[in-house]
Amino acid sequence: MVTSDSLEFIVQRFFNPDDTPETDPVGAGNINDTFRVAFEQAGKTHSWLLQRLNHQVFTDPEAVMHNIRLVAAHLSRQPDFPLAVPAPLPGLDGRLLQRDAAGNYWRVFPFFENTYAPEQLPDAAVAFEAASAYGRFLGALRDCSAENIRETIPGFHDTDRRWEQFLATVREDPAGRVIGVSAEIKLLHDLKPVFDEVSSLKRSGALPLRVVHNDTKAGNVLLDTATGKAVAVIDWDTIMPGTVLSDFGDMVRSFTPDVVEDVAGPVHLRKEILDALTHGFLETTEDFLTDTERRHLLLGARWIIGEQALRFLTDYLAGDRYYKIRYPEHNLVRARNQLALFAEL
């Protein structure tokens, strides 16, 4: 739990405010805790984004910041990159990460005024703009060497490994929940061929290894509140070597459903949103995607939706160790939601 005392302590590691800073929570992330910090300094109001990095998920916080610093520098060197770069702000001691008394890691980013993150059921115009922004982001990183980027979550999109973890969790049944989810377990076995096809493409080298975002949900693009145009791609913690199929797939997963991932009940895919995502993404990636990547974008969508179902159900069976939950069946509801979306796609 983040306390007001810990927030005040951390703010003073980054700034010398003239008054008591105001801190308000922002965003709806499942992993980190994020706050807007506002204070007076030299007669001017300053606003920044203060974030606690969940070191239970990101076990090597220095690697996370290494990637963010490298990508920010790469993008800042490109005069034609049209989006803002959320480069991290060093603390007063020059370090990007600061720790509180409880051992938590904190960092600061620019706060972009007059922007919003389209968290809930974006329309086609928003989907097109966001997909275009993600495409520009990936295009600007095409020359960023994947060899210099560290793996912040080992095996993040190693679905073969996640499948083995799932099977082991089913066998061990640590939370005593397997008996109630036999239908969901069968559905995951039924979609396994999708995982196998993606794994085969990756192993064969048919998919280029690129620096990719790995969390291209609706809420990770900031749009201008007045114009609706993209301002920045944010939340770079999962930037790692990977394939564009996962980035396109996560867009489809988060943008196209007619209900959010926490909702139980019927889930339908909005085809007009899928069309907008496809057009926006291809418009800004046509000059660097390979034919193989273009042909398999929808396979990427099936892969990532299925993998997310796998992750949610594995976490439910393990006793909810990874994702924040609001009630005991929360991860099961999320898993069923993703399985329904997979069937729709």
Two tokens at 151?
A: 């793996």
Complete DSSP assignment for 63-108: HHHHHHHHHHHHHHT-TT--S---PPBP-TTS-S-EE-TT--EEEE
The answer to whether 330 touches 320, Cβ cutoff 8 Å, is: yes
* CA dihedral angle for residue 153, residue 159, residue 163, residue 164, rounded to 10 degrees: -60
The answer to whether 211 touches 239, Cβ cutoff 8 Å, is: yes
Q: Provide the pLDDT for residue 31.
A: 75
Q: pLDDT of 149-184, one tens digit each?
A: 999 999 999 999 999 999 999 999 999 999 999 999
- For 25, other C-beta atoms within 10 Å of its C-beta total 10
| Amino acid code (one letter) for 281 | F
CATH superfamily label, 4-111:
Phosphorylase Kinase; domain 1 (3.30.200.20)
Q: Provide the pLDDT for residue 23.
A: 85
Q: Is the pLDDT of residue 325 over 80?
A: yes
Q: pLDDT of 299-322, one tens digit each?
A: 999 999 999 999 999 999 999 998
Taking the C-alpha atoms of residue 6 and residue 104, their distance in angstroms, rounded to an integer, is 9
Higher pLDDT, 342 or 18: 342
Q: pLDDT of 86-139, one tens digit each?
A: 999 999 999 999 999 889 999 999 999 999 999 789 999 999 999 999 999 999
Residue 1: DSSP 8-state? -
Q: pLDDT of 7-46, one tens digit each?
A: 888 989 999 887 778 888 887 666 788 999 998 877 788 8
- For 226, other C-beta atoms within 10 Å of its C-beta total 8
Q: pLDDT of 45-72, one tens digit each?
A: 889 999 999 998 899 999 999 999 999 9
**Residue boundaries of the structural domains of the chain:** 4-111, 124-344
Q: Which residues make Cβ contacts (< 8 Å) with residue 253, sequence separation at least 6?
A: 217, 301, 304, 305, 308, 338, 341
Q: Which of 217, 220, 215, 211 is nearest to 86 (CA)?
A: 220
CATH architecture of the domain 124-344 equals Alpha-Beta Complex (3.90)
Q: Provide the pLDDT for residue 29.
A: 61
The answer to whether 337 touches 267, Cβ cutoff 8 Å, is: yes
Taking the C-alpha atoms of residue 45 and residue 91, their distance in angstroms, rounded to an integer, is 19
Q: Which residue has the tokens 């370090």?
A: 95
| Identical topology for domains 4-111 and 124-344 | no
Q: Is the pLDDT of residue 5 over 80?
A: no
- Positive or negative, the CA dihedral 282, 285, 287, 291 is negative
Q: Which residue has the tokens 């729709």?
A: 344
| Amino acid code (one letter) for 31 | I
Taking the C-alpha atoms of residue 36 and residue 24, their distance in angstroms, rounded to an integer, is 5
Side by side, the strands of the sheet bearing 105-110 are 22-25, 33-41, 44-53, 105-110, 98-99
Q: pLDDT of 246-304, one tens digit each?
A: 999 999 999 999 999 999 989 999 999 999 999 999 999 999 999 999 999 999 999 99
